[in-house]
Chains A and B, each alone.
Chain A
Amino acid sequence: MRVTVKLFARLRDIAGAPELTREVAPGATIGTLWRQLAVEFPELGAYERSISSARNADYARMNDPVSDGDEVAFLPPVSGG
């Protein structure tokens, strides 16, 4: 399955790109994808406990499944206002 990953703020800086395309195995969850990225970009590991995620522009949970073609976003702690 192929998914689009969107990264914001410091996560984007770490990965060096705002958007990535990645292959994930069938049955993968958002958490699977995150751990895959954390192997690729070890500095992401520091965010393990503080990130939020979204699937197709809705807030999601790390154990939610992903489907082919999904857009998955990883969000560091927010600072709007």
Chain B
Amino acid sequence: MLPRLWIGHEPLELERLTATLDGPDAGGDGAVVTFLGLVRNHNAGRSVRYLEYEAYEPLALKAFERIAAEIVARWPGVSLALHHRIGRLQIGEASIAIVTRSRHRADAYGASRYAIERVKQIAPIWKREFFSGGDVWIEGATADPDDAGARREAERIACA
């Protein structure tokens, strides 16, 4: 059985990840939302060749656990499975897989969007983009899990 939350080098398996949310109490659920984030062949006007992801793995896993707890607090009854891949990823490969499951679809959709927004805010993971002519570290958000404003922003996007 796969863990629900994971970070590592192996390719992501969406069906097996989805199965981690099966369980004796899952019969009351009516919705599963799955999300895959893929490596795109272009970014900011650059022609991307491939990406290399790295992470502070123990802290990344704790960030995922935190996101799962936030989701349970905001959407009671929603369960989350989230895997992030690191290492070299080719164009079209999945870097992140998110599965949310709930009684009704609105909660699973909202929690799915919230999860990806929070990963981008607080998970200690970095991508290095190798493009035609060079490479660059992509730097997004300053990670601060206690930043209530960032959390509200993720919630606003999730519920838009």
Q: Which residues of A line the B interface, CB within 8 A? A: 6, 8-10, 13, 50-52, 54, 57-59, 73, 75-81
Q: Are A79 and B127 also in contact (CB < 8 A) when A9-B137, A57-B56 are?
A: yes
Quick check: B144 and A52 within 8 Å, CB to CB? yes
Q: Which residues of B line the A interface, CB within 8 A? A: 37, 53-56, 58-60, 62, 84, 95-96, 116, 119-128, 137-146
Q: Which of A50, A79, A80 has the most CB of B within 10 A?
A: A80
Q: Are A57 and B58 also in contact (CB < 8 A) when A80-B96, A80-B127, A81-B96 are?
A: yes
Interface of A is mostly: mixed
Q: What is the CA–CA distance of A50 and B122 in the complex, to the nearest angstrom?
A: 13
Quick check: A81 and B128 within 8 Å, CB to CB? no
What are 15 of the A-B contact pairs (CB < 8 Å)? A8-B54, A9-B139, A50-B142, A52-B144, A57-B62, A59-B146, A75-B56, A77-B139, A77-B141, A78-B125, A79-B125, A79-B126, A80-B60, A80-B123, A81-B84
Quick check: A79 and B59 within 8 Å, CB to CB? no
Determine the chain A residues whose CB is within 8 A of the CB of B62 once the complex forms. 57-58
Quick check: B139 and A50 within 8 Å, CB to CB? yes
In the complex, which of the residues B95, B116, B120, B128 contacts A78, with contact meaning CB atoms closer than 8 Å? B120
In the complex, which of the residues B96, B116, B143 contacts A77, with contact meaning CB atoms closer than 8 Å? B143
Quick check: B141 and A78 within 8 Å, CB to CB? yes
Determine the chain A residues whose CB is within 8 A of the CB of B124 once the complex forms. 8, 52, 54, 73, 75, 78, 80
